[in-house]
Structure 1
Amino acid sequence: MKYFTLLQLNKSVQKLVHGINKDFWITAEISNVQVNDHCYMELVQKEGERIVAKSRAMIWASQLAVIGVKLGESLDTLLKNGTKLLLQVRVTFHEIHGMSLVVADIDPSYTIGELELKRLETIRQLEEQGLIDLQKSHSLPAVIQRIAIVSSKDAAGFTDFMNQLTLNDFGYRFSCTFFQSAVQGEKAEKEILMQLGKINPDHFDVVILIRGGGSKLDLEVFNSYVISEFIANMDIPVITGIGHQRDETVCDIVAHTAMKTPTAAAEFIIQRALIFETRISSVFENILGQANGILHRQKIEIQEFKSTISRSVINKIHQEKLTISNAKLLMTKNLQFIFERNKAKVKQLSRQIANLDPQKVLERGYSLTLRNGQIIKEEIKVGDSITTITATKVIESTVKQVKTKK
């Protein structure tokens, strides 16, 4: 029996593989990837969830740099687990390590098509769950002041947003709290979810999700089902400011308000404040106008009331003067009457007094008897000295005992 050693067999296979000397374009899904200087990955093909083919692949550092120049930041999005790629590969075989594929190029258009199908499926799933319009049920405050910002501090979009917001022409001031997260690459989905989960709806008016411009692949994380679902279920309005002009990401679709750029998101917040201030100013002007009208009418009414009071007072004073004048005349007449009446009484009393003059009484034949210069009011006694006054004489006497006849 003829046989080969394993090494002989492998070398024969290696010779056959090297004889192919041709590149192939293949489609495959990345199931495991590690990038250091070189990129090592495991490619699989699935039917449903079952793996029907598997192969090791690598991109050497020199070629990785070439592809990186061609694809830019999109390369990080492509080289992650679960991504379906269209790859240009060359088959190699090593007698120890076996078969592997060396990647020469990547066509991103295939992946974009696959991602678009995935995006549409994500939208359909969210619609079935009733999550597409759930954010729209939240009410935005008239003035947005407390803002939670989820973005990368290194993103140009974040700088654009903050410059537009803080350097506004109206001097408005906003309270911004920054939640740092990657917005591209393998860590982006996990970090965005983590930062969104940290936001307390009671402490903020809105959440702003910001990402600067980029290609479809650069923005792929914002088509994530888990992020979109989380945003839809948040108890606070979410505003997206993702830097793209044409296509909507799924996060844009489920968000309360989607703006095309971070700058536009900042301007949206500023304009709401301006609209509110304009309305307040209009209301103030309306109130001021009404108040001035009321004051003007009140001044007229007060002036008319003042004139009415003035006329009433003048009339009242005139009437009171007449009353006083009449009272004065009446009083004068009454006093004159009283005076005349009392004058007559005085004359009568004067005559009476004159008639009661002791001298005149004496002249009418009466006399006045005194004891010790006082009119006698008590019984006189024997021996008392008395004085008797007549109209013409003063008689001094001494009281003696007088015998009465029996």
Structure 2
Amino acid sequence: MKQLQEEQYPGIPVFTLSELNTAIKATLELAFPESVWVVAEISEIRCNSKGHGYLELVEREEEETIAQIRANIWAYTFRNLASKFEKATGETLKQGMKILLQVNVTFHEVYGLSLNIKDIDPTYSLGEMARKKREVIERLTKEGLINLNKQIPLPLVPQRIAVISSATAAGYGDFVDHIDDNPYGYKIFYTLYQSLMQGQEAEASIIAVLKQIRGHIKLYDAVVIIRGGGSQIDLSCFDTYSLAIEVAKFPLPVITGIGHERDDTVVDMVAHTKLKTPTAVAEFLILGMSSFEERLSDAQSTLVIRAKELLREEKHRLQYLMQQFRHIVKDRFNGEIKRIETASHRLIHGATQIIDGNNNKLKLDVNRLVGGLKIVFQEHKNKIKHFGQAIRLLDPINVLKRGYSITYLREKAIKDSSELQTGDIIRTKVYKGSVNSKVEAIDVEE
């Protein structure tokens, strides 16, 4: 290359690619002879089959990437650093996390520039996570959402519960065992809405489930969010603004049993009631029902005692009223008897006077009536006698005695000669006997 440089590019150094990369490597080794500490955000992280970790590190400024570089952690170091980080922060190394790393700046002639990670300071990440959490809490407080869900009254006996958890989580199993086998025999109806409870997709999964429950809001009294039974890692999803606001604005009381032992998550803070474990949530529901039953029992006892007192008071009052009533009725009855006796005497005396006064008048009227009836009876007697004489005179036997006769045609008396025809056989009745005749001629009088 030196000959090419002198002939065609005098005064300008010319390198092969390998020479250039070797020069860059040497320069970087001189510039960064020892490891340095770097603050960066994990844009991507993956682990290969051999256990080596590969990261993409970025620096952002107002959501814009202003720097980016590859980094790696060899398997043995990766295992140690990941374990130390999880124990210190309760979180795994993951995308979106801001970390402080101790790195060696390396340059490979084929693979280029990269950082070899030697150590990670978890205290920086803890501070960064705390800062983000604090910002979320301040924003929720400013928007008036921190205590919004707490203002929803929890039913006295919440028996219909929507449970957000993983079916395979030991915490969910503990919750179910305590609910179903409670010593009081209470019946609590619960429906599991399965969701991811840790990892990068947990936040979106829980939000989706909450929206699903909204569609069946009338079926439930409260919502329970529980996890547990595993490692206390990957809880950062419960510190996000998106999930916290969904819980805060939920139209039912939300009870949490996330199982974070060190401090409360943001979701715990905005929830109606926060408890440490799924078992504690189950006991809270059962004890609430037990407390309500005790209140009912106390109210029943108080009601029975008060009812007995009222019965005694009413019994005494009724006895007093009955005594008063007896006196009043007796006095009224005696007064009415006297009034009736007086009225009876007056009535009898007045009736006697009226009867005596009308007795003579009645006798005179009776005498007059008897006299009038005798006259009427005599007149009718005379009329009946006269009618009897007339009836005897008109008797057909007496008429026949005087020489008269009756002519019959077919046993029918003949009153007009026009009723006869020549040749008819007629019977003529006289006083003694009858005569049969044959009509020879007929004289008809006009």
Could you tell me the TM-score, scaled by structure 2's length?
0.62
Report the AA paired with residue 56 of structure 2. Answer: E
1:132 positional shift: 1.4
Deviations, residues 92-122 of structure 1 (Å, cap 9, x unaligned): 2222221112223322221110011111111
Q: For 1:153 and 1:98, locate their aligned partners in 2 and report how far apart those are by CA, in whole Å.
A: 47
Q: Could you tell me which of 284, 297, 303 is aligned with 1:281? A: 297
CA contact (8 A) 2:253 2:272 kept: yes
Change (3 A) 1:167 1:23: farther
Distance in 2 between the 1:247 and 1:260 partners?
10
Q: Report the AA paired with residue 72 of structure 2.
A: M
1:101 equivalent in alignment to 2:115: yes
Distance 1:308 1:133, change over 3 A: closer
Question: Which residue of structure 2 lines up, in the alignment, with residue 7 of structure 1?
Answer: 18
Moved more, 12-21 or 102-111: 12-21
For residue 35 of structure 2, the aligned residue among 23, 32, 38 is: 23
Per-residue CA deviation, residues 49-77 of structure 1 (Å, 9 max, x unaligned), is: 33332101123334333334334488894
Please point out which of 253, 267, 271 is paired with 2:269: 253
What letter corresponds to residue 27 of structure 1 in structure 2?
A: V
1:17-166 maps to which residues of 2 (within 5 A)? 17=28, 22-37=34-49, 38-72=52-86, 77-166=91-180
Match of 1:192 in 2: 206
* Structure 2: stretches of 5+ with no match in the other structure: 6-12, 335-446
Contact 2:98 2:128 in 1 (8 A): yes
Q: How do 1:353-364 and structure 2 match up within 5 A?
A: none
For 2:218 and 2:115, the matched residues in 1 are separated by 54
Q: Distance in 2 between matches of 1:24 and 1:78?
A: 23
Relative to 1, partners in 2 of residues 1:270 and 1:203: Cα closer, same or farther, differing over 3 Å? Answer: same
Q: Assess if the C-alpha contact under 8 Å between 1:77 and 1:217 holds in 2.
A: yes
Provide the C-alpha distance between the structure 2 equivalents of 1:184 and 1:75, rounded to a whole number of angstroms: 15
Give the Cα–Cα distance (whole angstroms) in 1 for the partners of residues 135 and 230 of structure 2.
22
CA–CA distance in 2 between the matches of 1:148 and 1:218? 23
Percentage of identical aligned residues: 42
TM-score normalised according to structure 1 size: 0.68
- For 2:67 and 2:76, locate their aligned partners in 1 and report how far apart those are by CA, in whole Å: 28
Structure 2 counterpart of 1:275, one-letter code: S
| Distance in structure 1 (CA, Å) of the matches to 2:146 and 2:139 | 9
What is the CA-CA distance between 1:165 and the residue it aligns to? 2.8
Determine the C-alpha separation between the residues in 1 that align with 2:233 and 2:300: 51
Q: Does 1:222 align with 2:238?
A: yes
- Residue equivalent to 1:210: 226
Per-residue CA distance 1:30-66 (angstroms, 9 max, x = gap): 1223344343221012233333321011233343333
* Cα separation, 1, equivalents of 2:253 and 2:207: 16
- Counterpart CA distance in 2 for 1:270 and 1:98 is 63
Separation in 2, partners of 1:160, 1:7: 63
CA pair 244-146 structure 1, distance change in 2 beyond 3 A: same
Q: Decide whether aligned partners of structure 1 residues 217 and 119 sit closer, same or farther in structure 2, where only a CA change above 3 A counts.
A: farther
One-letter amino acid of the counterpart of residue 67, structure 1:
L
1:292 CA drift (Å): 3.8
**Bigger CA drift: 33-42 or 91-100?**
33-42
**Rg: which structure is higher?**
2
Which runs of no fewer than 5 residues in structure 1 stay unpaired?
A: 320-406
CA distance in 2 between counterparts of 1:50 and 1:296 reads 84
Q: How far apart are 1:303 and its partner, in Å?
A: 8.6
Say which SS state the counterpart of residue 205 (structure 2) adopts. Answer: helix
- Does the 8 A contact of 1:168 with 1:270 survive in 2? yes
Shift of the alpha carbon at 1:246? Answer: 4.4
What is the deviation of 1:190? 1.5
Name which of structure 1's ranges 48-57 and 300-309 shifts more when overlaid on structure 2. 300-309
2:281 corresponds to 1:265: yes
> Would you say how many aligned residue pairs link Structure 1 and Structure 2?
316
Alpha-carbon RMSD across the aligned residues, in angstroms, is: 3.4
Give the direction of change, closer, same or farther, for the CA distance of 1:286–1:263 in structure 2 (3 Å limit): same
Give the deviation of 1:238 after TM superposition.
0.7
Q: Is the 8 A contact 1:157 1:212 kept in 2?
A: yes
> What is the rounded CA distance, in whole Å, between the counterparts of 1:297 and 1:112 in structure 2?
71
Equivalence for 1:390: none
3-state SS of 1:199 partner: helix
1:270 counterpart SS class: helix
The within-5 A match list for 1:316-327 is: none
Query: CA 1:155–1:67 in structure 2 vs 1: closer, same or farther (change >3 Å)?
Result: farther
Counterpart amino acid of residue 30 in structure 1: I
How far residue 297 of structure 1 moved from its aligned partner, in angstroms, is 6.0
